[in-house]
Structure 1
Amino acid sequence: MDPADLQKLVTVRMPYGKYQGRLIADLPGAYLAWFARKGFPPGQLGQLLALMLELDHNGLGRLLDPLRTR
């Protein structure tokens, strides 16, 4: 994992789907788990979704709070 990926979680928005426009860090855990079952999209988006799933699953989502811009 690249540490810059953590910053991307709070700046990159979901480009499509039910949660289009929502920050990756703000996606519901159930949606992330659905992607895990169906298969993450290729490329950077898939990597970010997988990373966010790991953070969410392990209860570490609050670690992103200091990275959010106010």
Structure 2
Amino acid sequence: MLPDKNILIELANAKMPFGKYQGRYLIDLPEYYVVWYRNKGFPKGKLGNQLEQVYELKLNGLEDLIRNIQKQNLKLR
């Protein structure tokens, strides 16, 4: 089953809302930080779901999928 493209587009535009990495795209968070959240427990709600998706993408080496969406969005502007 393919992921919903709208979810991927939203994830490509999602930024960290707080902390040391505030304002950074979730896909650009350091891997150790995402793994730390995985071990600690992802936050509840949308942010937690997005961080979990980022974890899975990084785990499977698919970050470029999101980066390509970001590049396409820049071209459209």
1:11 to 10, 13, 17: 13
CA-based RMSD of the aligned residues comes to 1.3
Alignment partners' CA distance in 1, 2:26 and 2:49: 11
Consecutive unaligned residues in structure 2, runs of 5 or more: none
Q: Deviations over 1:11-44 (max 9, x none)?
A: 1110011101101111111110000011100000
- Residue identity over aligned pairs, in percent, reads 43
Letter in 2 for 1:28: P
In the alignment, structure 1 residue 50 sits paired with structure 2 residue 52: yes
**Number of residue pairs the alignment of both structures matches:** 70
Alignment partners' CA distance in 2, 1:37 and 1:19: 18
> How far is 1:66 from its partner?
2.2
In the alignment, structure 1 residue 22 sits paired with structure 2 residue 30: no
TM-score normalised to structure 2 length: 0.81
Aligned to 1:39: 41
Letter in 2 for 1:35: Y
Q: Higher Cα Rg: structure 1 or 2?
A: 2
TM-score normalised to structure 1 length: 0.89
Structure 1 runs of 4+ aligned residues shifted over 2 Å read none
